[in-house]
Amino acid sequence: MLGPEGLNRALEHLRAFVRRKGLKSSLVRESVARAALEHVGHFTAEELVRSVRERGVEDVHPATVYRVLPLLVEAELIHQTLVSGGEGQRYERAFEREHHDHIICSSCGKVVEFHFEAIELLQSDVAKSLGFRLTGHIHELFGVCSACEPLART
């Protein structure tokens, strides 16, 4: 959860980013940013359009959201996430959040975040040993959560 102060910091960050790029600020874009930043969990472009609309104040056209999303990514307010397939590209807030990966229950769809430093370190080692300078990664685990597997419980 990003509190009201965090939201302000994020919007200020966005304004500075926009200024730096020689672009203009805009109400609509900030509405989209607000909806994205306060969205719980992952969201698609379409869901974001709905979120903005549900907040009542502004209304956004899907095309605009599709134009704003890459900008928010570039400003590092949000990240693209995978959370496997389905309906289109997903995003989640990145601003003032720690890095994490996901494990998804194939049965109920539950998504749990995890962060394991040991894995992160090994990733760097792998990259280094292959002659790469690591800049990012996608890591998603699939499984069946305990709630979905009342069977086979030892």
Partner DNA sequence: CTTGATGCAAAAGTTTTGCAATTTC
Partner DNA sequence: GAAATTGCAAAACTTTTGCATCAAG
Applying CB under 8 A, which residues contact a second copy?
82, 84, 103, 105-106, 112, 114, 116, 118-119, 122-123, 125-127, 130-146, 149, 152
CB closer to DNA, 4 vs 88: 88
Is residue 25 within the footprint of DNA (CB under 7 A)?
Answer: yes
Calpha distance 28→142 (Å, rounded): 37
Calpha distance 42→66 (Å, rounded): 16
Is residue 37 within the footprint of DNA (CB under 7 A)?
Answer: no
Contact 144, 106 (CB under 8 A): yes
Calpha distance 8→46 (Å, rounded): 24
Q: b/e map of 58-67 (b: 16 or more CB within 10 Å)?
A: eebeeebbee
Q: Work out how close the CB of 125 gets to a second copy at its nearest, in angstroms, rounded to a whole number.
A: 8
What are the φ and ψ backbone dihedral angles of 78, each rounded to 5 degrees?
-135, 165
Is residue 59 within the footprint of DNA (CB under 7 A)?
Answer: yes
Q: Work out how close the CB of 42 gets to DNA at its nearest, in angstroms, rounded to a whole number.
A: 12
- Touching DNA, residues 100-119 (CB under 7 A): none
Instruction: Report the DSSP beta bridge partners of residue 44.
Output: 90
Is residue 18 within the footprint of DNA (CB under 7 A)?
Answer: yes
CB closer to a second copy, 34 vs 102: 102
Please give the residue ranges that form the binding site for DNA (CB under 7 A): 18, 22-29, 44-46, 58-64, 66-68, 87-89
